[in-house]
Amino acid sequence: MRKGILFFLMLLVVATASAQDSLRLVTKRYQIGIGSINILDTYLSQEHFRGSSATFLFIQEKRKPDSRWTTIIQNQFNIASGADRADNESMLAANYNFIWGRYYDLPLFDGQLLLQAGGLANLGLGALYNTRNNANNPAQARLSLNIMPSGIATYGFRFLKRHWYVRYELDLPLAGLMFSPNYGQSYYEIFQLGNYDHNLVPTTFIAAPNLRQQLTVDCGISRSLTLSLGYLGDWQQAKVNNLKQHVWNNSIMIGLVKRFSVVWMKNEK
């Protein structure tokens, strides 16, 4: 009987240790926002287009309790519409970014301040459509992959008997690869005739000085749920193949943040 009880206790300890090893601390951030946008694409038009945009952003952070490393995945979708100065033509834009990042965590002041430094891969897919260019180059495709150094600072404190968090993220350009037609080249030449003309272009922080930053203030409304209000600045731009393009987006974001713990199965990474 004693041997059976001892064996059961040993199994319980092993199971508890295995569960602890597979524990993950997860933060999920859901945000929507509206803002202003400035669009330029000299392949479609020499004009600047200014208008409004709508953005949806989902961020997921995962780490082990005893680890100094955090994995972050972001999904960002943006739609926008803008008009030129004379209001004679308009530009429609849609863009999706999948962002994967890995950060080293440095907690300070007993965990009140968390500094994270690392890098991310930013895959962008999108399209622009000029409503006036019905027959001559009405649309432009967007495809890019950027490697970006990144840093995050999160400060937590108590105020008015609630938990507050201030989070700032800055993503800087380094190098990447993007698709672009060459000056005067049509999509018919690229995809129908197969005339390649430097359409996959390696980029650096000089040719594509992209910049992305987020600032949010979170207010706790329960033990694991917080209300978030913030700003997103996403400035994507490039100068390649004698063409200039940029999409500068500034948005006010609001959303919810959920913090919880989960136990991963053994066959999960």
Q: What is the pLDDT of residues 84-104, one digit of tens each?
A: 998 888 999 999 999 999 999
Q: What is the pLDDT of residue 22?
A: 64
Residue 21 has pLDDT above 70, yes or no: no
Given a contact cutoff of 8 angstroms between Cβ atoms, the answer to whether 67 and 264 are in contact is no
Identify the residue with better confidence: 85 or 19: 85
Identify the residue with better confidence: 193 or 263: 193
- Kindly state the tokens that stand for 90: 């308009």
The residue ranges of DSSP E strands in the chain, in sequence order, are 23-41, 49-63, 69-83, 90-108, 113-130, 139-159, 162-171, 175-179, 200-204, 211-220, 225-240, 243-263
User: What are the pLDDT digits (tens) for 160-215?
Assistant: 999 999 999 999 999 999 999 999 899 989 988 989 999 999 999 999 999 999 99
Q: What mean pLDDT value characterizes the chain?
A: 89
pTM higher than 0.75, yes or no? yes
Query: Tokens 């059961």 map to which residue?
Result: 8
- Kindly state the tokens that stand for 14: 């092993």
Residue 18 has pLDDT above 80, yes or no: no
User: What are the pLDDT digits (tens) for 233-246?
Assistant: 999 999 999 999 99
Q: What is the pLDDT of residue 3?
A: 47
| Phi and psi torsions of 263, nearest 5° | -110, 120
pLDDT class for 269, splitting at 50, 70, 90?
very low
User: What are the pLDDT digits (tens) for 133-150?
Assistant: 765 778 999 999 999 999
Residue 11 has pLDDT above 70, yes or no: no
Given a contact cutoff of 8 angstroms between Cβ atoms, the answer to whether 48 and 237 are in contact is no
| Phi and psi torsions of 65, nearest 5° | -60, -35
Architecture label for domain 2-263: Beta Barrel (2.40)
Q: What is the pLDDT of residue 134?
A: 67
Residue 264 has pLDDT above 80, yes or no: no
Q: What is the pLDDT of residue 7?
A: 42
Q: What is the pLDDT of residue 137?
A: 78
Sequence ranges of the domains in the chain: 2-263
